[in-house]
Amino acid sequence: MRKPFVAGNWKMHGSKASILTLVSDLNSKIAEIGDVDVAICPPAIYIDYVNRALAGNRIAVGAQNMAEEANQGAFTGEQSVAMLKDMDCNYVILGHSERRALYGETDSQIATKVDVALKAGVTPILCVGETLEERESGVMESVIATQLDAVLDVVGIESFDKVVIAYEPVWAIGTGKTASPQQAQEVHAFIRGKLSSLNADVASKVVIQYGGSVKPDNAVELFGQPDIDGGLIGGASLNANDFIAICKAAG
């Protein structure tokens, strides 16, 4: 049985004051959650602040991105995986559609980052997903397969037992639109099936999250699908009550 996993992606939101309030609320409510892995991914500048505010409770901390380079060096504005580990980061989001679309990150770069994270013992949350145009033109599966193949070619299928996959239809991120549970399940099953064709045992263990306007009122049905193992949560992760409700739905 795969253990459900819910991660909050705060994106470029937060201040010391708002984070202290949010984390305090999460600390007071986290005991309500069942057997679910939980992580929050704040902006890099607040990672240590969040970790200290969590005070060692069961919520893990992740980063939203990292450098391709494994070691420190002359890479202004970047943070290495070693730095993330030094700040007690357990996870790192890689290949988010905003990184691909706004900052031009390529499948090849993302694959390198996944490899670097794995070698350092940090769990990558690998984001894949299609645009509305790609879905409507019938190339959705091809797009997602290409995104996965880039990583598979670098790290191999056996390494995917240490990778979390987040399926995020680009057209549903921050738009208020959500893939129906059936639409989401169809893609999750495609992803697991693709991995299963290479190694069925690994595929059966891979946690595949759904991300894209997940809210308390749609989380139960989404997470009830057989191949959906939790969620990568955007806006709702900035509200403690909503985030806790979503975590409960995953359990």
Q: Which of 98, 130, 134, 168 is catalytic?
A: 168
Q: Is 134 a catalytic residue?
A: no
What secondary structure does DSSP assign to 57-88, as a single string? -S-EEEES---S-SS--S-TT---HHHHHHTT
Q: Within 13 Å, how many C-alpha atoms sit on residue 181's CB side?
A: 15
Q: Is 188 a catalytic residue?
A: no
| Residue carrying structure tokens 């806006």 | 235
Q: Which of 96, 105, 130, 134 is catalytic?
A: 96
Q: Of 34, 37, 81, 28, give the one whose Cα is nearest residue 59.
A: 37
Cβ atoms within 10 A of the Cβ of 66, count? 25
Helix (H) or strand (E) holding 92: strand 91-94
Buried b or exposed e, range 4-31, using 16+ CB within 10 angstroms: bbbbbbbbebbeeeebeebbeebeebbe
- C-alpha to C-alpha distance for 172 and 232, rounded to whole angstroms: 12
Q: Which residues are catalytic?
A: 96, 168
